[in-house]
Amino acid sequence: MFRLISGLPGPSGFGSASTAEQVTQGIDATNLTGIITGGASGIGFETARILALRNAHVVIAARNMEAANEAKLLILKDNKNARVDVLKLDLASLKSVKAFADNFIALNLPLNILINNAGIMSCPYRLSQDGIEMQFATNHLGHFYLTNLLLDKMKETAISTGIEGRIVNLSSVAHIHTYNGGIRFKKLNEKNSYDDKKAYGQSKLANILHANELTRRLQAEGVNITVNSLHPGLILTNLFKYYAVLTKILKFFSCFLWKNVHQGAATTCYVALHPNLKGASGKYFSDCNESKPSKLARDAMLAKKLWDFSNKLVNAAENS
């Protein structure tokens, strides 16, 4: 807590006060192509801006194409040599996820970095287009499916270039506040016992478990791709739209715990680009340093069960 409040650097040399520009200073990403979901706003946009600043070819995946094109123009305004593409992606629709993957592969680009950044938080109960609780569908299942669809492209790129691929899942410290047992496999869509905050925590726990199980599978294959998860910190973005008034009150009394967007994107950019993390996989990061997630997040059997459960949901949607 002292390090969080003070901004004192951790073992990595960076801390809660570090910005995305600072943690990527001197890094040349010219040979890298990265996808950022939700890259049109908030820390997703700042992540896209920084990757483009470090010369990576950036693909912004967003549901709102108007906002995505505005984000592209903002990046180009300050960096005329930036390489930025935009593609439509609605993570709450597995059909849209498949269309995005097909459209990206049709561009015939390599893929070195996949940043699963987009998300929603603590929304009222509703179901996705595929009939799945919305926070789980958007925050976890859409990214799970997207990652699987793009994995062969990432493997091909890692082999042909010899460059380590990196997958980054944005989770949250909120993963500790979830339902009993972590994931409600048998009651995922139950409306009567729905708790918006626990549902969010469940989806963020799923992000970590997904990264850990994918790490195990890729390491078993000997694939040169790492997968890590992270907590970006408390940042006042559109995620808090359902609690706007309450959030502003809380921020007033706990201002020392909150980050700005430049600081909020730092851990993502650090995990995605920094050479010090070469080979690091299945880790959880906070404030640009490795951290320890909850006991449930470290449960290998729960991670495997979630993987199988997620595959069943995807297969059911594909065959419906």
**Is 194 assigned a catalytic role?**
yes
Beta bridge partners of 226: 166
How far, in whole angstroms, is CA 144 from its chain's centroid?
Answer: 11
Write out the two tokens for 139: 């925050």
Checking DSSP bridges between strand 234-235 and strand 113-116, what pairing results, if any? unpaired
Other beta carbons within 10 angstroms of residue 92's beta carbon come to: 21
Q: Please say whether the beta carbons of 137 and 91 come within 8 A.
A: yes
d(C-alpha 6, C-alpha 15), whole Å: 9
The residues with which 113 forms a beta bridge, in sequence order, are 34, 166
Query: DSSP letters of 248-296?
Result: HHHHHH-GGGEE-HHHHTHHHHHHHH-GGGTT--S-EEETTEEE---TG
Write out 128-192 in H/E/C secondary structure: CCCCCEHHHHHHHHHHHHHHHHHHHHHHHHHHHHCCCEEEEEECCHHHHCCECCECCCCCCCCCC
Q: What angle do CA 37, 145, 199 make, to 5 degrees?
A: 75
Token output for 157: 């790129």
Q: Which candidate in 125, 145, 179, 194 is catalytic?
A: 194
Backbone region of residue 188 per phi and psi (left: phi > 0; alpha: psi in -120 to 50; beta: other values)? alpha
Which active-site residues does the annotation give? 194
